Amino acid sequence: MKRRLQDAVRERALLGDGAMGTQLMLAGLEQGNCGEAWNLAHPDRVLAIQRRYVQAGSDCLITNTFGGSRIMLDRHSHADDVVEINAAGVRIAREAFGHRDGYVLGDIGPFGGLMEPYGDFTEAQVRDAFREQAQALVDAGADAIILETQTSLEELRLGVIAAREAGAACVIGSMAYDVTLDGSTFRTMMGIDPERAAAFMHEHGADIVALNCGTGMDMERARQAVIRYQQATHLPVMAQPNAGQPKLIAMKVVYDETPEEMVKGVVPLLEIGANIIGGCCGSTPDHIRAFRQAMDLFHMAKRVS
Ligand SMILES: [Zn+2]
């Protein structure tokens, strides 16, 4: 039987993947359209993106199912396709690995609204949506479930419980932090700091604590977040920050960190014991290839010394 991800990463740090959303845009997805529906309509294009990450050296692929919950898909009139879209997402990622061993992380993003009393959604609606999506991902063979770009502990809790109940072999909670205006620290949009998030995830049964995306969260901020996580829990830590800051150039959003710039943050993350390293928005196969080289050199040097 395959080793659980949370066990494998304790021995050796693994490489995650890069962005899906910005790559889908490059492949022709229009802003505001449903990228997850491409798992059924254009599986070849999703596969091509994930194959490039595997060729660049990714050990883990996150499925193209970020907005694959019933609540999110309903906004694009795809609510009837929840199971098919999520199952296809797992299938495509597995196919991208080919004969290589790799971990398929079933992706669950935020449901995209607020729960009562602040918003229109009941807790039961959100719980049911996460349950349905988590079950579809696990049934299709995902090695882990990642609840990503989370900002609220209430929503995260529902996601973690849903993934556990679905029988996921590994549950990853991943928070999106924003650097505060004065630049002194970072917390989620809902005001959660990393220590609190890590302790909460640990308490609710997550296997890996993570961070991704966020505003102003570069590799150095990710390193700080990993250290703060490690002070709150002994669980493995995963970091997938953006490739710098988004900029609008010729009506296109581009991220300003090149692979050469971003890769400088990889060894500092490895030195403090980060267990999975990858990229979020704006990161490309070229970023991931640079990460792979840096990680391999680091591991080689460790073996020699
Ligand atoms: Zn992102």
Distance 69 CA to ligand 1 centre (A): 18
**What is the per-residue pLDDT across 18-66, written as a single tens digit (0 to 9) for each?**
999 999 999 999 989 999 999 999 999 999 999 999 999 999 999 999 9
Q: What is the pLDDT of residue 251?
A: 79
Q: Would the pTM count as exceeding 0.85?
A: yes
Q: Which two tokens stand for residue 96?
A: 């991208």
Q: What is the pLDDT of residue 98?
A: 97
Ligand 1 ion local residues (Cβ < 5 A) = 213, 280-281
In this predicted structure, the answer to whether residue 249 has a pLDDT above a threshold of 90 is no
**What is the per-residue pLDDT across 166-187, written as a single tens digit (0 to 9) for each?**
999 999 999 999 999 999 999 9
Distance 19 CA to ligand 1 centre (A): 7
Distance 77 CA to ligand 1 centre (A): 24
Distance 62 CA to ligand 1 centre (A): 12
Per DSSP, 216 falls in state: S
Mean pLDDT of 121-134: 98
| Contact partners, residue 162, CB within 8 Å, separation at least 6 | 108, 127, 130, 131, 133, 134
In this predicted structure, the answer to whether residue 90 has a pLDDT above a threshold of 80 is yes
Per DSSP, 106 falls in state: E
Percent of the chain with pLDDT over 90: 93
Distance 84 CA to ligand 1 centre (A): 24
Confidence of residue 252 (pLDDT cuts 50, 70, 90): confident
**Cβ-contact 183, 142 below 8 angstroms:** no
Distance 71 CA to ligand 1 centre (A): 20
Distance 304 CA to ligand 1 centre (A): 36
- Cα 35 to the chain's mean position, in Å? 16
| Contact partners, residue 109, CB within 8 Å, separation at least 6 | 66, 67, 68, 69, 72, 148, 149
Helix (H) or strand (E) holding 163: helix 153-165
Mean pLDDT of 262-281: 98
Angle formed at CA 172 by CA 259 and CA 184, multiple of 5 degrees? 60
**Cβ-contact 97, 142 below 8 angstroms:** no
Q: What is the pLDDT of residue 304?
A: 81
* Mean pLDDT value across the chain: 96
